[in-house]
Structure 1
Amino acid sequence: MTNAVWFVAIGTLLILMGTRPPVLQRLNLTPSMVYLSVGVLLGPSVIGVFHFNPLKQAHLLEVFAELAVLLSLFIAGTKMPVPFSWSAWRVPLRLAFISMTISVVLTAAFGYYLLGLPLGAAILLGGILAPTDPVLATHVQVRHMGDTDPLRFTLTSEAGMNDGSAFPFVMLGLLLLGSPVSDELLEGWVLKDVLWSTAAAIVVGLVTGRLVAQLVRWQRSLERTVPLLDDFLGLGLIGLTYGVCLLIDAWGFLGVFVTAISLRQSEISLARDEKSNQRRGASSASSHQSREIKPHGPSEVSEGSLRFKEPLERLSELVLVVLLGGMLFTDSWSLRAVSLGLFLFLVVRPVSVFLGLLGSGASWRLQMLVGWFGVRGIGSLYYLMFAVVFGLPEEMAVELIHITLVVVVLSIVVHGLTVKPMMTRWWGP
């Protein structure tokens, strides 16, 4: 396909999704399903006018997926409606760490015993497929900053955290592919990849989010006539947090999600403190000063930056899912890949959610819906490409690419067809 044809195709697709024709509404098609259909139609499965080779273009696809996940995690974090407390966050925390671990173990067992993969490859596959996706699961995620729906909050916060909690298992799988199991290997993995990388990411996220919130509040109090570029501030915060995490070997995805939560909660806390101080001052000068700050732009960086990042998130979803359709061949649908996908959706996800939430107090309806809506997508593509770029042997890379692509496509179709009916019937609009 020439550049001109690509412009026409993408432009037409954007207009189609922007106008939201009634036929798409009646068929309950999610945007990802439409993008996937276009990619499959243009790709080698049907017309064959383009083919994106994930093995040869692994580094490019890794960067695309990385950027998409980072944007989505930041957006999800800034929409978190409640401050952190164990009572409010116990369910997503259990899902992101306990259920995640169970999911990796069950998937790895399937890969090792039924697919005949080496132990390292089986654990790597479990780490790739275990995390739920923050990019493609827009229909079951928090819609806006005031959305307090418990199902949406649970799924959004879980997806934000398990994109970081899956990374230790990806690294363990890669380590075991190069070395036999030993006490030294496991001890080093626990200390570095589990404890240090997780704790460091949380600390970096909390600190950077708080510092930027305080910096913006201080600057707005000094230069009220100079509007701040909230979109630049938000993107800069993503880059700063992610870069620091990479430098100190912390999990950057988790750090970005935490920094978005920290930014939003710090803004709320600082605004509350400022209002409290103004009320205590009870002076006309201070009340006049507070009124002067408001007209010069959004009062919060997190809120203002969402106007810029949400379109970028939707555009990245379009590009990556169209490319996903262009990676598939008609013979991609092997029994091995399809059987793992069905096992993941029908057994691994429900069982891991049930076991992870034992004694949590979550309602059976919440557990049932969370147990079904474990959408796999761009996060899995990123981990897969990370492993390929890391140095995964070519034969093993082809096998894992084949399986992962089929599972992600199945998730887009199966979860996409059921999300609206199930949310309406069992939870409400």
Structure 2
Amino acid sequence: MTTAAWFVLIGILLITMGLRSAFLQRMRLTPSIVYLAIGVTLGPSLLGAFHFNPLKQAHLLEVLAEIAVLVSLFIAGMKMPLPFRWREWRVPVRLAFVSMSISVALTAAFGYYILALPLGAAVVLGAILAPTDPVLATDVQVRHMGDKDPLRFTLTSEAGMNDGSAFPFVMLGLAMLSAPLSLDMLQGWLLKEILWSTLMALVVGVVMGRLLAQLVWKQRFMISEGPLLDDFLGLGLIGVVYGVCLLLDAWGFLAVFAAAIALRQSERKLANTHAPASDVPPVPDTSILDEEATPQHGTQVAEGSLVFKESLERLSELVLVMLLGGMLFIDSWSMRAVGLALFLFVIVRPVSVFIGLLGSGTPMRLRMLVGWFGVRGIGSIYYLMFAIVFGLPEALAVEFIHITLVVIVLSIIIHGLTVKPMMSKWWP
């Protein structure tokens, strides 16, 4: 396709999605399904108008997926309606760490015993496919800053955390590919990849988010030298937090999510407890705002930058899902890939959720819906590209590309087509 044709195609697609076509609404098609259909049609599976080679373009795709996940995690964190308190967060924390670990183990067992993969490779594959996705799961995400719906809160906060909690298992699997698993390796992994990287990510995220909230508050309401660029402040926080975590070998995804929560909750606390009543009105209880409510633009960084970042997230979704269609070949659809995808959706996700939430007191209906809506997407693409760039053997890389693409495509289709009917029938 020529450059002009791409401009026309993308322009028409953006206008169509922007107008919220009545046809798409009646068909209950998610944006990801539309983008995927166009990508597959133009890609090597049908017309062959373009082909994106993920093996040769692994660095580029890693960066694109990395940016998309970071922006989505920051948006998810800013929308969290509650500060971190164990009573409200115990369910998503269990899902993000306990259930995710069980998911890695079950998927790795399938890869080792059924697909006959080396144990290290099976662990890497399990870690790639375990995280739920904050980018593509838009229909089951928290919709706005005051949305306290238990299902959407649980799924959004789980996705925000498990994109970081899966990283240790990626590193463990890659280490096992180069050396046999030993007690020393396991101890080093627990100390560095679990304790150090996780704790430092949380510390960096929380501290940076609170510091920015304090700095902006003083600049905006104490010094008052002029309006601030909320978009730049939000993007800058993402960059600083993620960069510091890379320097410290901490999990940047988890840190960015924590920073967004800390920024949002710190701004709310400052606005409600320290602002002079005559100068700055208290921040309203956003739990009573509906989805179309207009935020107090300029009052808080979290609210002021949300619109721009949501647009950036949607654009990232469009680009990456269309590229996904351009990576997919007909021969990617093997029984190994489809079988693993169905095993992941029907067995791994429900079982891991059920075990992870044992004794939590979670209502059965919530468990069932959470156990079904384990959307896989851009996070899995990032981990796959990370493993390839890290040095995953080419033969394994090619097979993992086919498997991961099939899993994501089936997740987009199956979860995308079932989300609205199931939410309307089973969830108030």
User: For residues 121 and 422 of structure 2, what CA distance do their matches in structure 1 show?
Assistant: 35
Q: Which residue of 1 aligns with 2:387?
A: 387
CA–CA distance in structure 1, aligned partners of residues 409 and 173 of structure 2 = 23
Structure 1 residue 274: Cα displacement = 1.3
Partner in structure 1 of residue 164 of structure 2: 164
Partner of 1:55: 55
Report how far residue 225 of structure 1 moved: 5.2
Other structure's SS at 2:28 match: coil
Query: What letter is aligned with 1:74?
Result: F
| Superposition pairs of residues 29-428 of structure 1, within 5 angstroms | 29-224=29-224, 226-275=226-275, 278=276, 287=278, 289-290=279-280, 297-428=297-428
Q: For residues 350 and 290 of structure 1, what CA distance do their matches in structure 2 show? A: 48
Q: 1:297 to 1:95 in 2, by over 3 A?
A: closer
Indicate if the aligned counterparts of 1:76 and 1:160 stay in contact, CA closer than 8 A: yes
**Unaligned runs of at least 5 residues, structure 1:** 280-286
TM-score normalised by length of structure 2 = 0.96
Alpha-carbon separation, structure 1, partners of 2:340 and 2:296: 54
Shift of residue 297 of structure 1?
A: 4.9
Q: Specify the SS of the correspondent of 1:228.
A: coil
User: 1:298 deviation in Å?
Assistant: 1.8
How far the C-alpha of 1:12 sits from its partner, in A, is 1.2
Asked if structure 2 preserves the Cα contact closer than 8 Å seen for 1:324 and 1:405, the reply is yes
For the 8 Å contact 1:227–1:296, the answer to whether it is kept is no
Asked if 1 retains the 8 angstrom alpha-carbon contact of 2:296 and 2:304, the reply is no
Residue identity in the other structure for 2:235? L
CA distance, structure 2, for counterparts of residue 271 and residue 8 of structure 1: 46
Q: CA deviation at 1:110?
A: 0.2
* 1:257 CA drift (Å): 0.2
Tell me if the contact between 1:224 and 1:296 (Cα under 8 Å) persists in the aligned partners: no
SS at match of 2:399: helix
**Residue-by-residue CA offset, 1:204-242 (whole Å, 9 max, x unaligned):** 000000000000000112333501100000000000000
- 1:272-314 deviations in whole A, cap 9, x for unaligned? 2214xx46xxxxxxx2x447x9x99521100111011000000
What is the rounded CA distance, in whole Å, between the counterparts of 2:254 and 2:162 in structure 1? 8
1:210 & 1:129 partners in 2: Cα distance?
A: 33
Deviation at residue 185 of structure 1 after TM alignment: 0.8
Counterpart-to-counterpart distance in 2, 1:7 and 1:382? 26
**Could you tell me which residue of structure 2 aligns to residue 9 of structure 1?**
9
The 3-state SS of whatever aligns with 1:326 is helix
How many aligned residue pairs are there?
418
In the aligned structure 2, how far is the partner of 1:69 from the partner of 1:290?
Answer: 34
- Mapped partners of 2:23, 2:271: distance in 1: 45
Give the AA of the match of 1:136.
Answer: L
Q: Secondary structure at the match of 2:271?
A: helix
Contact 1:68 1:316 in 2 (8 A): yes
Contact 2:17 2:31 (8 Å CA) reproduced: yes
Once the two structures are superposed, residues 345-391 of structure 1 have per-residue CA deviations (whole angstroms, 9 ceiling, x without a partner) of: 00000000000000001000000000000000000000000000001
Structure 2 gap ranges (5+): 284-294
Q: Which has the larger radius of gyration?
A: 1
Instruction: Normalising by structure 1, report the TM-score.
Output: 0.95
- What CA deviation, in whole Å up to 9, does each residue of 1:139-180 have, x standing for no partner? 000000010000000000000000000000000010001111
CA–CA distance in structure 2, aligned partners of residues 290 and 267 of structure 1: 13
RMSD between aligned alpha carbons? 1.6
User: Which whole-Å CA distance do the structure 2 matches of 1:88 and 1:134 have between them?
Assistant: 20
What one-letter code is carried by the residue in structure 2 that aligns with 1:367? R
Amino acid at match of 2:383: Y
Contact 1:226 1:296 in 2 (8 A): no
Deviations 1:16-61 (A, max 9, x none): 1111222111111000000000000000011001000000000000
One-letter identity of the residue aligned with 2:94: R
